[in-house]
With several copies, the nearest count.
Chain A
């Protein structure tokens, strides 16, 4: 009975199974689903959502939430694009600026959450609106285009045959996994989300941990913004709308609790994959747009339901 009624869903076998079933069904219906080309395609498509989802995993683990992701993606994409015109700077400059812009937004979120004790929902909702406004201001409401090939290469190039967005996503996921499972900081993140009072009483620097989590999340949103801008070869002030919900959904599908303290990056990757497979599969099956939405909603709930009922 100490077990709360909302399940803890440790990364159980349910999700991989749901994923496998879906993949099997799709590859029967469309043999080209399992093409190497399509699989690379699929993973590249989820890489932006994946980077965002890994970032927001930190925040959700502390028991917070970040609704500003989508707007931060737009702001950092625009900021990066402003410095990425041909002949201006080497590509590293706009990349750094994008990431910094994101980190700054995240740090602002973290500051108000940790110091001001305002509910993260409100803080990041405010940032969602404000960052979007800033993105529009910076860009004058127009896409910032004409970007240098060195910059757009990030989104479209390959290294050893693997698309760069995939490499970036894997790198981010791996690093975060290490940070969360093998580092002191990771422990603290779980402790803050698991029982903030106990963490405080155990001497965990709760405020700094929260600050760090939001800042990391923001920086990764900045990185995602850079990858997106580079992929679509423009900084779009109205890019990324709704990305926060997709990212949070991937994390929660992956078994991280919105109450904090439980979950991790492994689940997040699975969650992002599941969402990617659904999107890609429905497009491949050419399900009509209207039905696609209905079906998508049902599959997500169904997959999670299955997953949770395994460990009941």
Chain B
């Protein structure tokens, strides 16, 4: 369990130590991110200290402070929040430790950034719905945990598209807190109050999309509603493949993870690196789902 011992072993060449603070390891996407980083680190001979902030920006700041106190060589930060995680970045930079943000951004500029913009995910999903509805119809949106960066940005991206499509009406917006069971309950209640008036549903992540999907199927209304999620978790990909879910948006967590470790090492070895490496989101539908299913 306790991986290795200290990074500063007397014998041999000293291995670089990278401190990693992750948003939340009980999130499937983050778990994938973690896995790819650990694989990459092993391959490159780097020691990783992985801390889980469990969605708390304060904890994340604490963890970076601990990394600074431990004098790690570099830090990879998977920020909880745009603003609230910024002090973590500033503290690392002030201590002269390079910091790479992965997956999402902070207000304070890190040494390098690897990831994507959640707004894009919201935009892609909503554009897909707009296209399927020919720009006309009633849409319901399931929000993530209110106030979290991913929720705010995916919300924004989706609303930008809606603003451009006056024929599309947002008739219901509620949070299901990223949770499948809550999404199912919410969809059941929407089925009751809106009945056949909902033409499309955008769930801000796939967990909620799966919940909504089950509720719609049980109400035998799935054929009348277009449903899209974000993240491309295996369940959702399978559902897209089976023709149950209409679309999801793929976020390349594996690519982000290994790129983050690689970038951090480049910085340490004073090699040239990209200050901002955007790994784009991709729309997944039945047409292209095969390439995402492993």
Q: Do chains A and B touch in the complex (CB under 8 A)?
A: yes
**8 Å CB contact of A286 from B50, B179, B181, B238:** B50
B146 and A141 contacting across the interface, CB-CB below 8 Å: yes
Chain B residues near A155: list those with CB within 8 A: 87
A97, B174: Cα distance in complex, Å:
30
Docked pose: A234 CA to B233 CA in angstroms: 13
A284 & B87 in contact (Cβ 8 Å cutoff): no
Q: How far is the CA of A142 from the CA of B57 in the complex (A)?
A: 14
Interface residues of B in 60-76 (CB under 8 A from A): 61-63, 65-66, 69-70
Interface assignment of B192: CB less than 8 Å from any CB of chain A: yes
Check A233/B147 contact, CB under 8 A, given A30-B6, A45-B62, A290-B25: no
Question: How extensive is the interface on chain A, given as a class?
Answer: 35 or more
CB pair B214–A45 under 8 Å, yes or no, is no
- The secondary-structure label for the interface of chain A is helix
- In the complex, chain B residues 1-60 whose Cβ is within 8 Å of any chain A Cβ: 1-3, 6, 22, 25-28, 31, 49-52, 55-58
Q: How far is the CB of A71 from chain B (nearest CB, A)?
A: 11
Q: Within 8 Å CB of A311, what residues of B?
A: none
Residues from chain A with a CB closer than 8 A to the CB of B62 are 41, 44-45
Q: Is A38 an interface residue (CB 8 A)?
A: yes
Residue-by-residue, is B170-190 near A (CB-CB < 8 Å gives 1, otherwise 0)?
A: 001111000111001110111
Q: Which of A275-312 contact B (CB under 8 A)?
A: 279-280, 283-292
Chain A residues, Cβ within 8 Å of B173:
288-289
Residue of A nearest to B190 (CB): A283
Whether the Cβ atoms of A292 and B52 lie closer than 8 Å is: yes
Is residue A237 within 8 Å, beta carbon to beta carbon, of the partner chain? Answer: yes
* Interface residues in A57-114 (C-beta closer than 8 Å to B): none
Contact A38 B66 (CB under 8 A): yes
* With contact pairs A142-B147, A143-B235 given, residues A32 and B69 touching in the complex (Cβ less than 8 Å): yes
**B78-86, B126-134, B271-279, B286-294: which one contacts chain A?**
B78-86
Query: B147 touching A238 by the CB < 8 A rule?
Result: yes
Contact B233 A141 (CB under 8 A): no
Question: Complex formed: what's the CA distance from A234 to B25 in Å?
Answer: 18
Question: Would you give the 0/1 interface string for A141-162, flagging 1 where the beta carbon is closer than 8 Å to chain B?
Answer: 1110110000000011000000
Chain A window 202-215, contacts with chain B (Cβ cutoff 8 Å), 1 for yes, 0 for no: 00000000000000
Residue numbers in A under 8 Å from B189 (CB-CB): 41, 280, 283-284
Interface string of A225-256 (1 = CB under 8 A from B): 00010011110111101000000000000000
A66, B82: Cα distance in complex, Å: 30
- B84, A156: Cβ atoms closer than 8 Å: no
- Complex Cα distance A155/B31, Å? 28
Residues 21-37 of A at the B interface (beta carbon under 8 Å): 29-33, 35, 37
Q: Which residue of A lies closest to B88 (CB)?
A: A232
Q: CB of B145 within 8 A of chain A?
A: yes
Chain B residues within an 8 Å CB radius of A125: none
Q: Which one of A33, A35, A38, A232 contacts B61 once the chains associate, using CB atoms below 8 Å?
A: A232
10 contacts between A and B (CB under 8 A): A32-B70, A37-B192, A141-B25, A143-B233, A237-B146, A239-B84, A239-B180, A283-B189, A288-B3, A288-B173
